[in-house]
Structure 1
Amino acid sequence: MASIRKRNDKWQAQVRRIGHAPRTKSFINRADALRWIRQTELELDRTSLAYDPATLDRTTVADLLRKYVRDVTPGKRGHASEAKRIEVFLRYDWAKLTLARITPQVFTRHRDQRLREVEAGTVIRELGLLRTVFEVARREWDIPLQGNPVANVRKPKAASGRNRRLRADELTALLAACSNGRTAWLEPGIRLAIETGMRRGELLNMRCADLDLANGLLSIPETKTDIPRTIPLSDNAVLILRSLQDTGTDDRLLPVTANAFRLAWERCKRRASKTIPGITDLRFHDLRHEAVSRFFELGLSVPEVAAISGHKDPRMLFRYTHLKPEDIVVKLRNASQQVAA
């Protein structure tokens, strides 16, 4: 629909079309305004030939989410967690809105509400998923959205990265708690996380066929980044893996589900908290941070540590590195003494 009106000695023309942002322009002459309206409508007609604008009135956000979780999510490595997140999206009132009524402000309000409930990192991941859903709908499903309604929603500022290091007394308490538990695989899992810097999922996917203990190597065919890697093993890691290889009853070296491992880890921390109360805030992923920091403390270079951890971006690798200032002081003093000598 087009309209024209005189305002402040100028002719203001506007063209509105379902599925497109309104277009407005001012002219001195009425004839120029009418000419611009005809040209704009022709342009919109050309770009909309392949689409049915009424689709936006018939399709809800929930329809897009269901199609995405059915057609796209199963092909992803983290499909289970993504499917659960979309299941939660479907419970919100905005999921019932048609695409003709969806606006960036809808997701701005959602962002503000979620920030009162969860951490900023969770909200950033939710907005990222929603943006991807709308982008796939626009580019691959012939949904005539003029723009992505999540693209211009400002992301909240992420919290500062964790710098949690594992103390020696905490490790002792954890291993003691493991011995009091009924899960024989938890202790080697914790030790391997510290020795190798592997993620929990990578640890649980280890198989006998991936081992080359004679040469001190472990192949990781399935990674978070979908880029396989082979990591060198410390002597301690070789001993742990050899014990798992000898006692294992399954092709997997740690034959347990991710949820069972998580629950065992939480129970272990609760037992350890009887002697170290502050250990309850330790996350299993912090052991990966601990491992990377130890690699650097051993004197390994950035490329060498990256080859073990699998980081492709040095900036991300440094986020996992938390060197102890007191250790750096010792190195500086030793270097100064050597120069003085």
Structure 2
Amino acid sequence: MATITKTPSNTWKAIVRKRGWPTTIKTFRTKRDAQDWARRTEDEMVRGVYIDRAESDRLLLKQALDRYLREVSATKKPSTHSAERHKAKALKAELGNYSLAAITPDLVAEYRDKRLEAGKSASTVRLELSLLSHLFTIAIKEWRVGLVYNPVANIRKPAPPQGRNRRLTAEEERKLLQACDAHSNPMLGWIVRIALYTGMRAGEIKSLTRSQVNLDKRLVYLTETKNGSARTVPLTREAVAVFRAALDNPLQPDDTDLIFFGEPGRDGIRRPYEFRPAWHRILKETGIRGFRFHDLRHEAVSRLVEAGLGDQEVSAISGHKSMQMLKRYTHLRAEDLVEKLDRVMR
């Protein structure tokens, strides 16, 4: 049974009491709104579908994001946690003062369009929407805040961009490696060559420890990768030579097992060498445009394909989790087929 009373502040309080359900209270500006809400709530209780939405009405998105970063992101890899903190800033700036209950598909679609109009890439916007969607999933399934649906689920996501196909020319490779070798820190050149010779990701290289490298067997054991699956990377003779030089580094400190180490932080702990500032300076100095460090991985995988390795072999080395991810390299297979056709038809 619902009770509607006027409060001293001239608002209207609706109280719904029904056996088997918790007492539910909500305040409204008009008596009509209070009556409508009470009638709707009683009806949902009778049908057994009532959900207490009070928490989702009170919980702002910026508060929910803080909780998500604290409880969910913190359990992920440090790099993922850091990336999600960055994405959360954009969501807070646009939608942070909305309650979870007030965020609708229309509002999310408007956010998507604004970000794209601001020049953000489709990949960036897709990742931000993915974070928002997972937050709502957690809020519904685990936090039980009284939401009945995920407003991100039914909106169009920006089309994923085509994979980059930037190759390194022979002249660019010569200039790049020469400039890296001339840098004051030899670790820069070692890192660049390892990426080019093995196809390993920047994070995988930076976090390498001495115990992960076996030069006798010519193998590197990766335990923490982007997709979460450990893998073993075989080394070419060129890669072995680079690793041998890195492992014989006379400046190797005793307080870390990292191969590519930085200076101790304020807490006295050494972290991986942050090579990207020097990398960007070298690209600018050499005039190599439109090239990213991750393109070294693409170059390495392309060379594996051109060398005739099969998809399974390439995937085992590169760590691509599905054959779909390797489809961007099929044009290289086609070029090989053209040469084979010429030989066959002679």
Instruction: Report the residue type matching 1:86 in the other structure.
Output: A
**What's 2:88 paired with?**
86
- Which of the numbers 299, 310, 318 marks the counterpart of 1:290? 299
Does residue 305 of structure 1 match 2:311?
no
CA distance in 1, matches of 2:61, 2:205: 38
The structure showing larger relative contact order (alpha-carbon pairs under 8 Å, at least 6 residues apart) is: 1
Instruction: Report the residue type matching 2:97 in the other structure.
Output: K
Residues 239-278 of structure 1: matches in 2 within 5 Å?
239-247=241-249, 249=252, 250-256=256-262, 260-273=274-287
1:38 offset after TM fit, Å? 11
- Aligned residue for 2:260, secondary structure, equals coil
Root-mean-square deviation (CA, aligned residues, Å) is: 2.3
Q: 1:196 to 1:267 in 2, by over 3 A?
A: same
**What's 2:150 paired with?**
148
1:86 offset after TM fit, Å? 1.1
**What's 1:135 paired with?**
137
CA distance in 2, matches of 1:187, 1:38: 67
CA distance in 2, matches of 1:200, 1:316: 18
CA contact (8 A) 2:91 2:128 kept: no
CA distance in 1, matches of 2:326, 2:154: 29
CA contact (8 A) 1:176 1:272 kept: no
Instruction: Report the residue type matching 1:254 in the other structure.
Output: F
Instruction: Report the residue type matching 1:76 in the other structure.
Output: K
- Aligned residue for 2:224, secondary structure, equals coil
- Aligned residue for 2:102, secondary structure, equals coil
Does residue 71 of structure 1 match 2:85?
no
- Aligned residue for 1:47, secondary structure, equals coil
Task: Calculate the TM-score normalised by the size of structure 2.
Answer: 0.79
1:320 offset after TM fit, Å? 5.4
Q: 1:80 to 1:240 in 2, by over 3 A?
A: same
Instruction: Report the residue type matching 1:206 in the other structure.
Output: L
Q: Which moved more, 1:178-187 or 1:138-147?
A: 178-187
Residues 281-301 of structure 1 deviation map (CA, whole Å, 9 limit, x = unaligned): 101111111111111111111
Instruction: Report the residue type matching 2:285 in the other structure.
Output: R
Q: 1:204 to 1:65 in 2, by over 3 A?
A: same
CA contact (8 A) 1:183 1:264 kept: no
What percent of counterpart residues are identical?
40
**What's 1:276 paired with?**
none
Instruction: Report the residue type matching 1:52 in the other structure.
Output: D
Structure 2: tracts of 5 or more residues without a match: 1-23, 25-39, 263-270
CA contact (8 A) 2:261 2:272 kept: no
Instruction: Report the residue type matching 1:306 in the other structure.
Output: S
Q: 1:284 to 1:139 in 2, by over 3 A?
A: same
Task: Calculate the TM-score normalised by the size of structure 1.
Answer: 0.80
CA contact (8 A) 1:210 1:220 kept: yes
Residues 135-284 of structure 1: matches in 2 within 5 Å?
135-247=137-249, 249=252, 250-256=256-262, 260-273=274-287, 279-284=288-293
Instruction: Report the residue type matching 2:279 in the other structure.
Output: W
Number of residue pairs the alignment of both structures matches: 293
1:84 offset after TM fit, Å? 1.9
Q: 1:140 to 1:154 in 2, by over 3 A?
A: same
- Aligned residue for 1:148, secondary structure, equals coil
Residues 17-32 of structure 1: matches in 2 within 5 Å?
none
Instruction: Report the residue type matching 1:66 in the other structure.
Output: D
